[in-house]
Amino acid sequence: MGTRRKSRELALQMLFQSDMGKQTSEQVERTFWAERKDLDEGVRSFAQDLFRVATERVEEIDKLIERHAEHWRMERMAAVDRNILRAGVAEFLGFPKTPRPVIINEALEIARRFSSPESVQFINGVLDSVARDLEGAARAK
């Protein structure tokens, strides 16, 4: 597994811990990294950056997801799916130089590992729609 994929999986785990444990980002960071002291610094750094973008911009990210997940509210989505989507949209917003198809593909691979087959299609549809929306907004500027 590549270092970026590992970072994305760690960011997902941090988002999941924050979401399900109703913990602040500081609480998550303190406990999460205390158990993972032997990680490569590059892996840790990118995971931390993704988590930071996702938590700092969570309201904006959740609005984008809900707008593109027709008939789905965030609280009704499976927790893993919700946080895979948050991580993907956070990467769209925080790391615009990463090609959007790469971000989507990575999210789908993570979904295949941590979620259900039906979720993979759902995540693909939502992220693809958000990506097209963001591209259109960037062109309009």
**Within 13 Å, how many C-alpha atoms sit on residue 117's CB side?**
0
**Whole-angstrom Cα distance, residue 61 to residue 88?**
9
Residue 20 has pLDDT above 90, yes or no: yes
DSSP code at position 22: T
pLDDT band at 141; cut points 50, 70, 90: low
pLDDT band at 137; cut points 50, 70, 90: confident
Cα–Cα–Cα angle for 99, 77, 10, rounded to 5 degrees: 50
In which residue are the tokens 């931390």 written?
48
Q: Which CATH number do you get for residue 123?
A: 1.10.940.10
pTM, two decimals, is 0.94
**Whole-angstrom Cα distance, residue 133 to residue 50?**
21
Sign of the CA dihedral running 82, 75, 119, 127: negative
Which residues span the domain enclosing 112?
A: 3-140
Number of structural domains found in the chain: 1
The answer to whether residues 82 and 88 touch, using CB atoms and an 8 Å cutoff, is: no
More confident residue, 129 or 39: 129
> What pLDDT sits at residue 120?
96
**Whole-angstrom Cα distance, residue 43 to residue 41?**
5
- Write the pLDDT tens digit of every residue in 74-111: 999 999 999 999 999 999 999 999 999 999 999 999 99
> What pLDDT sits at residue 1?
62
Phi, psi values for residue 87, rounded to 5°: -65, -40
- Write the pLDDT tens digit of every residue in 24-80: 899 998 899 888 878 888 999 999 999 999 999 999 999 999 999 988 999 999 999
How close are the terminal C-alpha atoms of the chain, in Å? 37
| Residue-level length of the chain | 141
Q: What is the CA radius of gyration of the chain?
A: 14
> What pLDDT sits at residue 23?
87
